[in-house]
Chain A
Amino acid sequence: MIKKKTRRPLWQIALPILLLTAVWIMLWDDLSVLNILTGVLLALFVTRFFYLPPVELSRRFNIFWAAVFLGWFTASMISASLHVAWLAVRPKGVSAGSVISVELHTRSDLLITMVSTVIGLIPGSIVIEADRAHSVIFVHVLDCSTDDEVEAAKSQVYRIENLLIRALGSAHDITTLNTWRKELGMPPVLPTRELQRKESRR
Chain B
Amino acid sequence: MNGLSDELLIDPAILRIAAPILLVIFLATLVIVVIKLIRGPSILDRMIANDVFLATLLCGLGAFIAATGRVDLLPVLLAVAALGFVGSVSVSRYVSRSDTSSPVVGETRSMAQAHTLSMAQRRDQEEAQRQRSSRAGSADGPDDAEAGRPAGAETVGPLFAEEQEQS
| Residues of A participating in the B interface, judged by any CB pair closer than 8 Å | 27, 96, 145
Contacts and interface: CB of A to CB of B under 8 A. Distances in A.
Nearest to A97: B109
B71 to A, nearest CB: 9
A96 B111 CA distance: 13
Contacts, number: 3
B32 to A, nearest CB: 11
Nearest to A95: B109
Contacts of B109: 96, 145
Contacts of A27: 78
A10 B50 CA distance: 44
A76 B98 CA distance: 39
Nearest to A150: B110
Contacts of B78: 27
Nearest to B78: A27
B42 to A, nearest CB: 16
3 contacts: A27-B78, A96-B109, A145-B109
Interface in B62-101: 78
A96 B109 CA distance: 8
A158 B133 CA distance: 55
B74 to A, nearest CB: 9
3 interchain residue pairs of minimum CB distance = A96-B109, A145-B109, A27-B78
Nearest to B108: A98
A145 to B, nearest CB: 7
Nearest to A27: B78
Nearest to B75: A27
A27 B109 CA distance: 50
Nearest to A145: B109
A145 B78 CA distance: 39
B116 to A, nearest CB: 15
A27 B78 CA distance: 9
B104 to A, nearest CB: 14
A96 B107 CA distance: 13
Contacts of A145: 109
